[in-house]
Amino acid sequence: MCRHEERPPALRAVGEVVMSFVLVKVSYLGLVRNVIGCREEEIELNPGATVGELLAKLAERHGDAFRWSVFKGGGELRSMALVCVNDCDIFQLQGFGTKLESGEKISVVVGVYPPEGG
Partner 1 sequence: MEAAMEDAWIHSACDMCFAACGILVHKRDGIVVKIEGDPSCPASEGHLCAKGQAALIGLYDPSRVKVPLMRTNPEKGMGVDPKWQEVSWEDALEILTNKLIKVRQSDPRKLVISSFDQIALSYFIRPAWGIAFGTPNTDWTGYYCGNYLHASMYLTNGSFHSDFDLDYCNYAILLGNQQGFMAGLNANVAARKMAEARRRGMRVVVVDPVGTNAAAKADEWIPIRPGTDGMFILSIINLLLNELGCYDREFLSRRTNGAYLVDGEGKYIKENGTGAPLVWDQRAHTSVPFDREGSDPALEGVFQVGEISCRPAFQALKDHVKHFTPEKAAEITTVPAHTIRRIAKEFGAAAKIGSTIVVDGKALPYRPVAVNIYRGAGAHKHGTHTALAVQTLNMIVGAYYVPGGHRGVNLVGPGGRWGPGETAEGLITPPAAIGRGARYYDLEERPPEDLGLHELFPITTNRSPMYQINLHDPEQFQLPYTPEVLMVCRRNLMMNNVNPQATAEMLRRIPFIVTFSTHLDEVAEFADLVLPEAHFLERFDLFPNRPSHTMSPATGHFYWGLRQPVVEPLGQARRWIDVLFEVADRMGFLPDVYKLLNVTLEIKEPYRLEPSQRYPMEEICDRWTKSLFGPDRGIDWFKNNGYHKVPRSVEERYPGPFIRARFPIYFENMLRAKKSVAKVASQLGRDWDTSDYQPLPVWKPCHAYDGGAPPYDLYVVNFKLPFHSLSITTQNPWLNDLAEHHPYAYKILINAETAGRKGIRDGEVIWVESVAGKVKGEAKLTECIHPEVVGIAGVFGSWARGKPVARGKGVHFNTLLPISLDRIDPISTGVDSCIRVKVSKAA
**Per CB under 8 A, 87 contacts partner 1:** yes
Specify the residue, 6 or 16, whose C-beta has the smaller distance to partner 1.
6
Provide the sign of the torsion angle of the four alpha carbons 76, 41, 63, 102, taken in this order.
Answer: positive
Residues 6+ apart with CB under 8 A from 23: 10, 42, 43, 44, 45, 102, 103
Q: In the bound complex, what is the minimum distance in angstroms from residue 84's beta carbon to partner 1?
A: 5
3-state secondary structure of 97: helix
Binder of partner 1 out of 10, 19, 27, 95 (CB under 8 A): 27
Strand 105-110 with 17-30, pairing: parallel
**Per CB under 8 A, 37 contacts partner 1:** no
Residue 51 is classified by DSSP as H
Q: In the bound complex, what is the minimum distance in angstroms from residue 78's beta carbon to partner 1?
A: 6
**Per CB under 8 A, 59 contacts partner 1:** no
Q: Which positions touch partner 1 (CB under 8 A)?
A: 1, 27, 29-31, 33-34, 68, 72-73, 78-80, 82, 84, 87-89, 107, 109, 111-118
